[in-house]
Structure 1
Amino acid sequence: MPKIKPLDMKLLDLLFEMEQGYVLDFSNRTLSQFFLGELEIDIDDPLFAADGTSKARRLRCFLTLADTTTCVRALKALWQYREATLSSQRKSEPVVHAEGRFLTLIRGLEAGSISDDAIGNPFAAVRQVGVDQSAQLKRALVEIHKLAPQARGYAFEIFLQQLFEASSLQPRAPFRNTGEQIDGSFLCRGDIYLVEAKWVSNPIGVGELHILQGKINEKAAWTRGVFISYYGFTNVGLEAFGRRKSLICISGKDIHEALEKQIPFADVIDRKVRAAAETGSVFVPVGELF
C-alpha cells in the first residue's frame, strides 16, 4: 500500500476540499461515476467505508488500502479534474504552491523512499538534506554565494547532484572522456541527459552552448543535454544557437523558483523538454511553465 504520511493526507484534504467530508464538487453519485468511468474502481465498496461513509472518508480509506500504482493513478485523475474545474470556473489557485506540492507528493509515492545518504566531502553542508528538502537546498545556494570562485563551482556541482538525487534522477558524478569534461549525467523518464553546469559572473553565450551540443552529437543518438547556468543565458546567444537542438537550458532563477514552489526537478525537466518540442526554444523559464 502507498506510504501516505499524515502531513501528505492534510495536503490532499486541502487540495480536494475534504476537510468537511466532501471531495471537490462531487456528489455521491458523480463521485461513484468518476471512479467507475475514469479508474474502473467501485468507491462505494463497503471496504472503503470502514472509517465512515462520507465521500472524504471513503477516499482517505481508499488511499490507505490501494496499491501505490492505483493510488497514484487516482490522485492524478482527481488533480486533472480539479484543474479543469478551476479553469472552467475561471478561479485562481486557492492553495499556495499547490502544483509543486502535489507533484512532490506524487514523486515520493512513485519513488518509494528517497535516500538521503551523503558521502563525506568538504562541502558537507551543501549535501545534507533534512525533512524540508526545498528549504535545505535553498539555504545551500545561499552558502555557495559565500565561497571563493573556485570552491563555488565545485560546491555548485555537489549541490546539483543532491538536487538530482532528491528527484530520484540517478545522477552520475563528473567524468572525463578523451579530450572532454562532462559535469555529470542523470536519468529522467528513461532518457540520459549530459550535464554542463556553470557558476560564472556573466550569462552564458552561444559558444558554450555549441560546445555542449557538440559533445552530445558525439554520443548515442538518444542522448540529451542540460546546460545549467546560474546567471542564465544571453538573449543574443540563445537566438544565435537556434532551434532543433537536443538540449535544454536551466538558469539559477529556474532553480530558485522550482525550490520555492516545491516543484520536483524531474517535472522541471519534463516541462522544459515538452516546451522545447512544442516551441523549438531551448530555454523557456520555469515561471512560464508552472
Structure 2
Amino acid sequence: MANIEYIEKDYFEELFGMRTGYVLDFSNRGFQEFVFEKIHLDIYAKYQGLSKAKILRRIISDYDNVTVGKLLLELMRYMQAKGMVTDENKANFQKCAEIGNRLIGKNVTVKRSAQTSSPKSTVPIVDYDSLLKELKNISSHSDTPQSRGFAFEKYLKKLFEDYNLEPRGSFKIVGEQIDGSFILHNEVYLLEAKWTNKKIDKADLVVFNEKVSSKSGFTRGLFISFSGFSDEALTTFANGRNVRIVLMTVQELAIALSRKLDFTKVLSAKVRALAEEGDFNKSILSL
C-alpha cells in the first residue's frame, strides 16, 4: 500500500474529478490503455466491474509508493498536456505534485526541483506558464546585454532543474569559459547561451563545436540563441566538419513552453535528427 494519507488522497479525488466515478476525461478504453502504458497493469483484468475512480483508489491501496507515485504524476502530466490545469486548481495541482514526487522518492515542488540523494523522478512536473512568463521577462530586461545574458543562463539552469537534467552553472577551465552543462539520457551536454541582438555567425558555432569535440568522444553540445543564426552559419558550418552540437532559438523554447511540450523530448528529437539526418538545426515545427 502506498504511504499516502486520507487528506492527500482527497486532494487527488478533487483534482481528477473522481467523486463522480470518473478520472479526468478518460473513456474506459483510454484509461485502460493509459494505465497499462505507464505501469504495465491491465486494470479490467485485475479490477473487473469497477468504475475508473474505484480502480484508481484500489491501485493506490494495492501498490507500492513508486508505482502509485509514477501513475499519479503521469496523470498530472496528462492534465498539463490537455490544458486542464487552471487558476482554480493550480494550488491543488502543486500539492498533488509534491505528494507524487514524495512517493517516488524526490522532494520537489511544481516550480523547482531539489537535488537529493533519493531516486530521481522520471516524470517531471513543470509549470509551463511560469517558465514562459519568466522567459518573456528576460526579453523586457532593461539592463545591459551582459546582464540579460547572465539572467538567461540562470533561467536555463532552473529550466534544466525542472526537467531533472542535473545542470551545472557556468564554469571556467584553462583557457575556456563554459556557460553550463546538463545530462540527457546519461549523456553530457555542454551549453552555450547567447542573448544578443546579432545573429550567431559561423565562427561562434565553430568555436563551440571545437570546445565540445575537445572534451571527449561522447560529449555533445546545445547552442541556444535569442536572435537565431546567420544564413552563412546554417549553410556552411557543417562543411567538412564533424558536428557535435545542436541548435535552438529562444523562439523555439517559447513555442515548446506555450504548447506545453516536454523539453527533453524536443531536445532528444533534435539530437536524433543530427544523428540520423546530419541536421544540426532541426526546427521544432518539423519535429
TM-score, structure 1 normalization? 0.67
Residues 200 and 189 of structure 1: CA distance in aligned 2, closer, same or farther (over 3 Å): same
- Of 29, 39, 44, the residue aligned with 1:23 is 29
Residues 1:218 and 2:214 are matched in the alignment: yes
Q: How far off is 1:24 after superposition?
A: 2.7
Residues 1:54 and 2:51 are matched in the alignment: yes
- Encode CA deviations 1:61-99: one digit per residue, 9 max, x unaligned: 336643466569989x99xxxxxxxxxxxxxxxx98449
Corresponding letter in the other structure for 2:261: I
RMSD, aligned α-carbons: 4.2
Q: Please, which runs of 5 or more residues in structure 1 have no aligned partner? A: 79-94, 119-130
The whole-number CA distance in structure 1 between the counterparts of 2:36 and 2:80 is 27
Q: How does 1:121-136 map to 2 (within 5 A)?
A: 133-136=127-130
Q: How does 1:1-290 map to 2 (within 5 A)?
A: 1=2, 6=12, 9=16, 13-14=23-24, 16-17=26-27, 22-24=28-30, 39=40, 41=42, 43-45=44-46, 48=47, 53-55=50-52, 57-59=54-56, 61-62=58-59, 65-67=62-64, 70=67, 97-98=81-82, 112-114=106-108, 116=112, 133-145=127-139, 146-148=141-143, 149-242=145-238, 245-289=243-287
Q: How far off is 1:23 after superposition?
A: 3.2
The whole-number CA distance in structure 2 between the counterparts of 1:70 and 1:244 is 42
Q: How far off is 1:282 after superposition?
A: 0.8
The whole-number CA distance in structure 2 between the counterparts of 1:265 and 1:2 is 31
Corresponding letter in the other structure for 2:282: V
The whole-number CA distance in structure 1 between the counterparts of 2:153 and 2:226 is 11
Task: Find the counterpart in structure 2 of residue 90 from structure 1.
Answer: none
Task: Find the counterpart in structure 2 of residue 121 from structure 1.
Answer: none
The whole-number CA distance in structure 2 between the counterparts of 1:68 and 1:239 is 51
The answer (yes or no) to whether the contact 2:60–2:68 under 8 Å persists in 1 is: yes
The whole-number CA distance in structure 1 between the counterparts of 2:105 and 2:261 is 15
Relative contact order (C-alpha < 8 Å, sep 6+): which is higher?
1
Task: Report % sequence identity.
Answer: 31
Task: Find the counterpart in structure 2 of residue 128 from structure 1.
Answer: none
2:29 is paired with a residue whose SS is: coil
Corresponding letter in the other structure for 2:271: V
Q: How far off is 1:139 after superposition?
A: 1.8
Q: Please, which runs of 5 or more residues in structure 2 have no aligned partner? A: 86-95, 115-124
